[in-house]
């Protein structure tokens, strides 16, 4: 399902960018609820990134239909069971994935909200104070900050979970676009954000598969945890959006509370 913002359709801007997002809920291991992902110019994504990810799939698995999913890679489930005994393939997988970030025009974003601190400091929080709303607001604000600089437009992609969850996320998105953020007004949000879409997992959306590998290592960094032996955190951090002022901690990988 795709939800469009129809305001200012008559105004032609430059490039269109896709923002692919995933989430990581706080749990016994991680204190921060995170929303993270990457954004890529539309034609660049279609012409280069899709081909490179499919080449990775072909080289490692022999087909392009497999869905890249970080939790399954780390737990050696499904098609990734082979990595238990083929460590060279596992290392090649992570190396190729990191090189796609390293060698391409990709920007990463992530916002993490410490859930317990949020409850402690703001015990009477309402919908606008929820960790989901706060993290999504930061992500969209920083994405639009980039789009303003580029005179571009953007579309947001989240993997579909179920009808109710998708609709609740859409309502969060719509509230942010309609009301604006702390630093950007509603007119700017509506001008630069064109739609939000919820592809199904079986759609094999390449961008969402890239985004799936971002929240986990960033959450580890937010918490001061060591990265796993095989990881792409350095490549993710090096591609964090910095607002063109070398502030990736503000515009790229932002920890709240």
The model's pLDDT over 100-118, given as tens digits with 9 standing for 90+, comes to 999 999 999 999 999 899 9
Domain boundaries, the chain: 2-256
Adjacent-strand bridge partners of 41? 17
What pLDDT sits at residue 232? 99
Q: Where are the alpha helices (DSSP H) in the chain?
A: 42-44, 50-61, 70-75, 87-102, 115-121, 131-150, 163-179, 186-192, 206-211, 215-222, 233-238, 248-251
What pLDDT sits at residue 11? 53
Predicted TM-score of the model (pTM): 0.93
The number of residues in the chain equals 257
**φ, ψ of residue 210 in degrees (nearest 5):** -65, -45
For the chain, 257 residues long, give each residue's pLDDT as a single digit of tens: 455 565 544 455 579 999 999 999 988 899 999 999 999 999 999 999 999 999 999 999 999 999 999 999 999 999 999 999 999 999 999 999 999 999 999 999 999 999 899 988 888 666 556 899 999 999 999 999 999 999 999 999 999 999 999 999 999 999 999 999 999 999 999 999 999 999 999 999 999 999 999 999 999 999 999 999 999 999 999 999 999 999 999 999 999 98
Tokens 């792409």, located at residue? 232
CA 176, 179, 180, 183 dihedral sign is negative
Q: Which fold has domain 2-256?
A: Nucleotidyltransferase; domain 5 (3.30.420)
Alpha-carbon distances, residue 55 vs 51, 183, 202, 248 (angstroms): 6, 41, 19, 30
What pLDDT sits at residue 10? 45
């Amino acid at each position: 399902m795709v939800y469009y913002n129809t305001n200012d359709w008559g105004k032609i801007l430059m490039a269109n960018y896709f923002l692919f997002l995933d989430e990581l809920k706080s749990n016994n291991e991680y204190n921060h609820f995170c929303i993270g992902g990457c954004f890529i110019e539309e034609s660049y994504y279609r012409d280069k990134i899709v081909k490179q990810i499919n080449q990775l799939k072909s080289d490692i698995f022999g087909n392009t239909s497999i869905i890249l999913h970080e939790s399954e890679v780390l737990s050696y489930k499904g098609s990734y069971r082979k990595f238990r005994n083929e460590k060279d393939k596992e290392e090649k997988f992570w190396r190729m994935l990191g090189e796609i970030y390293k060698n391409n025009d990709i920007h990463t974003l992530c916002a993490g909200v410490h859930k317990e601190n949020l409850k402690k400091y703001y015990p009477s929080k309402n919908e606008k104070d929820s960790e989901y709303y706060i993290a999504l607001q930061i992500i969209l604000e920083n994405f639009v900050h980039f789009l303003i600089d580029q005179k571009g437009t953007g579309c947001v992609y989240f993997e579909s979970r179920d009808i109710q969850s998708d609709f609740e996320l859409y309502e969060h998105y719509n509230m942010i676009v309609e009301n604006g953020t702390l630093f950007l007004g509603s007119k700017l949000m509506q001008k630069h954000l064109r739609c939000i879409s919820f592809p199904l997992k079986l759609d094999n959306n390449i961008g969402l598969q890239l985004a799936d590998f971002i929240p986990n290592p960033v959450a580890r960094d937010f918490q001061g945890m060591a990265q796993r032996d095989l990881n792409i955190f350095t490549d993710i951090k090096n591609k964090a959006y910095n607002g063109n002022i070398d502030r990736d901690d503000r515009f790229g990988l932002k920890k709240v509370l």
